[in-house]
Amino acid sequence: MFLEALASAFPSNTYTQKECFEFTRTTSSYQSLSRRGQGIMERVLLGDSGITRRHFCTDSPAAMFKEGAQELNEYFEREAPALSIAALKKTGVDPSKIDALIICTCTGYLCPGVTSHVAENMGMRDDVYLQDIVGLGCGAALPMMRAAEGFLAANPGKKVATVAVEICSAALFMNEEP
């Protein structure tokens, strides 16, 4: 097993941490937090976290605080396949040469899975092995790589594409919990 290509893709709307704090503090969700909750939010967005910019799947992120779970998941449904395809295209790997596609995520749900949408839109072969790994949390890339290793052990010489796709802004929720 060896790595042939590596690529990434991000939502096009980016904001600095300060910009995120500025639009967040104008929302009713932020206003309803206790002083402690507001302080935590300020430390997260303005503290020294090593994060300089955040990517959002909308050009109006403050409006996302008003949306429910279904509306937020609709962002995931739109963006997860599109960004997965964008990253795979950047690799330069011919989609017809991919024997297995494994995608992991923990920030949304799509049925049929993201792999089905990606395989169809990229014109992958009908016999490509598809596996979605959903809900295993931030470390889902590890079981995804184990699944790829298992596929390759059972199918020597085959080619596997793996994608970890997270649309964190589609999982936006704010309350008093740190």
58 and 99 belong to one structural domain: no
**pLDDT per residue as tens digits for the range 60-84:** 998 888 898 999 999 999 999 999 9
CB-facing half-sphere around the CA of 49: CA atoms within 13 A: 15
Establish if 61 belongs to a structural domain.
Answer: yes
Which residues neighbour 45 within 8 Å (Cβ) at sequence distance 6 or greater?
17, 18, 20, 21, 24
- Residue tagged 């042939």 (tokens): 4
109 and 28 belong to one structural domain: no
E-strand stretches of the chain = 13-16, 53-56, 100-105, 129-134, 160-164
Distance (Å, rounded) from C-alpha 76 to C-alpha 178? Answer: 24
Phi, psi of 119 (to 5 degrees): -60, -45
pLDDT score of 172: 80
**pLDDT per residue as tens digits for the range 98-129:** 999 999 999 999 999 999 999 999 999 999 99
91 and 118 belong to one structural domain: yes
- Asked whether residue 178 carries a pLDDT value surpassing 60, the answer given is no
72 and 157 belong to one structural domain: yes
86 and 160 belong to one structural domain: yes
What is the pTM assigned to this prediction? 0.90
61 and 72 belong to one structural domain: no
- DSSP class of residue 163 equals E
Domains identified in the chain, total number: 2
92 Rama class: left (phi>0) / alpha (psi -120 to 50) / beta: left
Containing domain of residue 143, as a range?
A: 68-168
Distance (Å, rounded) from C-alpha 104 to C-alpha 138? Answer: 10
Question: Radius of gyration of the chain from Cα atoms?
Answer: 18
Phi, psi of 52 (to 5 degrees): -105, -35
- Which amino acid is residue 128, in one-letter code? V
